[in-house]
Amino acid sequence: MSKLSRPHSFTRRTAAALIAAAVTLSTSVAALADDKIVLRVGDQKGGNRSLLEISGQARDLPYKIEWSEFPAAAPILEALNAGALDVGYTGDLSFLSVYAAGAPIKAIGGTRSDPKTQAILVRADSPIKSAADLKGKRLAGTRGGWGQFLIDATLEKTGNKIEDATFAPLGPVDAKIALLAGSIDGWAVWEPYVSYATLKDKARIVSDGEGLTPTVTFIVASDNAIATKRAAVQDLVQRLNKARLWSLDHLAEYARSTADLTKLPEDVLLSAYTAQKTSPIAIDEAVVKEIQAASDRATRYGILGKTLDVSKAVDRSFTASANLN
């Protein structure tokens, strides 16, 4: 082979290799394009998954949702903190409790319910007639969340100290059993537990959250999902907002469909949904200010271990241009 032919031969070999590499690369890119982004979403039975499906917002997703069902919001937050989920939802104070502990998460959207649907319940035969009678009683609720906050805020409102009642940290299932058994005097809880207890167990409401609690439920995402799956997360937030607006105009259908999924009585769910009037919210300055006030109060009660800057716990960009009407 002549010296002059070697460069030509090398060029041909190089070109062939580059073409082969380009074909391989293009095939890989095409495969990736066909592979939808997967959002790992934490849910509770009868929660956001069913709402999306019932409203029709689960159709034609440009990504795949990998749903995981949990019995309550607390393990959803634990999974988000551990990096096992991308998105979940939880009450405002429960979110702040986990965020305060250093969890790499942000609130990116949410809903608001009527604060009167958070309530302190007593048995039908209880001698407790009003919030003022809660002094010295044993009261159950979720630790670090709405239950504990409502108990403390109610005691304070009636001129008592939070130490003037005994707090029993119980989840809804255990608290319901304890109330019916008489081992606690009152139970601070939310819907649909309130409707179930009043309609089926004849419990009475002695106080509610009006003027005391924001009653906001946050859509929460991990910092990693916000950074790497933003478009999919944004789309999910928009679909959840649209689904929630749909539910307000279709309460009976929503209750009927959710009853089939959860096996809860349809009349209980219709009562709960009608009372809650749950609507999507934009995380704006007013919401941040409201949650900041609740956060500061929770710190004063000892529910939160330190003062938080709520503006750093939220990402307003996901609902900045939301049309929630």
Q: Give 99's Cβ-side CA count (13 Å radius).
A: 25
pLDDT number for residue 169 = 96
Reported as a pLDDT band with limits 50, 70 and 90, residue 12 is very low
On whether both 168 and 243 belong to a single domain, the answer is: no
On whether both 222 and 246 belong to a single domain, the answer is: yes
CB 189 within 8 A of CB 91: no
pLDDT number for residue 35 = 66
User: What proportion of the chain, given as a percentage, has pLDDT over 90?
Assistant: 82
CB 146 within 8 A of CB 73: no
Helix (H) or strand (E) holding 167: strand 166-169
pLDDT number for residue 317 = 96
pLDDT number for residue 325 = 58
Q: What is the DSSP letter of 26?
A: H
Region 2-26: mean pLDDT is 36
Instruction: For residue 325, tell me if it sits in a domain.
Output: no
pLDDT at 43 over 70: yes
Region 14-31: mean pLDDT is 35
- Read out DSSP for 173-230? HHHHHHHHHTSSSEEEE-TTHHHHHHHHS--EEEEE-TTT---EEEEEEEHHHHHHSH
Region 51-73: mean pLDDT is 94
pLDDT at 107 over 60: yes
On whether both 225 and 275 belong to a single domain, the answer is: yes
On whether both 123 and 110 belong to a single domain, the answer is: no
Give the domain CATH number at 307: 3.40.190.10
pLDDT at 92 over 60: yes
Quick one: which of 41, 83, 75, 95 has its CA closest to 314?
95
On whether both 94 and 234 belong to a single domain, the answer is: yes
Q: Give 66's Cβ-side CA count (13 Å radius).
A: 8
Q: Which residues does residue 112 pair with via DSSP β-bridges, in sequence order?
A: 216, 279
Range of the domain at 28: 1-35
On whether both 146 and 194 belong to a single domain, the answer is: yes
pLDDT number for residue 72 = 83
Instruction: For residue 324, tell me if it sits in a domain.
Output: no
Instruction: For residue 307, tell me if it sits in a domain.
Output: yes
On whether both 68 and 188 belong to a single domain, the answer is: no
Q: How far apart are CA 30 and CA 24, in angstroms?
A: 10
On whether both 2 and 121 belong to a single domain, the answer is: no
Higher pLDDT, 6 or 74: 74
On whether both 143 and 109 belong to a single domain, the answer is: no
pLDDT number for residue 22 = 34
pLDDT at 15 over 60: no
Write down the pTM of the prediction.
0.84
Helix (H) or strand (E) holding 42: strand 38-44
Q: Domain count of the chain?
A: 3
On whether both 268 and 281 belong to a single domain, the answer is: yes
pLDDT number for residue 73 = 87
Instruction: Kindly report, residue by residue over 180-227, the tens digit of the pLDDT.
Output: 999 999 999 999 999 999 999 999 999 999 999 999 999 999 999 999
Main-chain dihedrals φ then ψ at residue 82, nearest 5 degrees: -80, -5
On whether both 107 and 224 belong to a single domain, the answer is: yes
Instruction: For residue 257, tell me if it sits in a domain.
Output: yes
CB 189 within 8 A of CB 141: yes
pLDDT at 138 over 50: yes
Instruction: For residue 286, tell me if it sits in a domain.
Output: yes
Final residue of a domain: which of 208, 226, 242?
208
Higher pLDDT, 72 or 269: 269
Region 4-24: mean pLDDT is 36
Reported as a pLDDT band with limits 50, 70 and 90, residue 324 is confident
On whether both 172 and 43 belong to a single domain, the answer is: no
Quick one: which of 293, 298, 289, 294 has its CA closest to 316?
289
Alpha helices in the chain (DSSP H): 5-34, 48-55, 73-82, 92-100, 146-157, 172-181, 193-200, 223-228, 230-249, 251-262, 266-276, 285-301
Instruction: For residue 176, tell me if it sits in a domain.
Output: yes
Instruction: For residue 323, tell me if it sits in a domain.
Output: no
Quick one: which of 222, 322, 220 has its CA closest to 279?
322
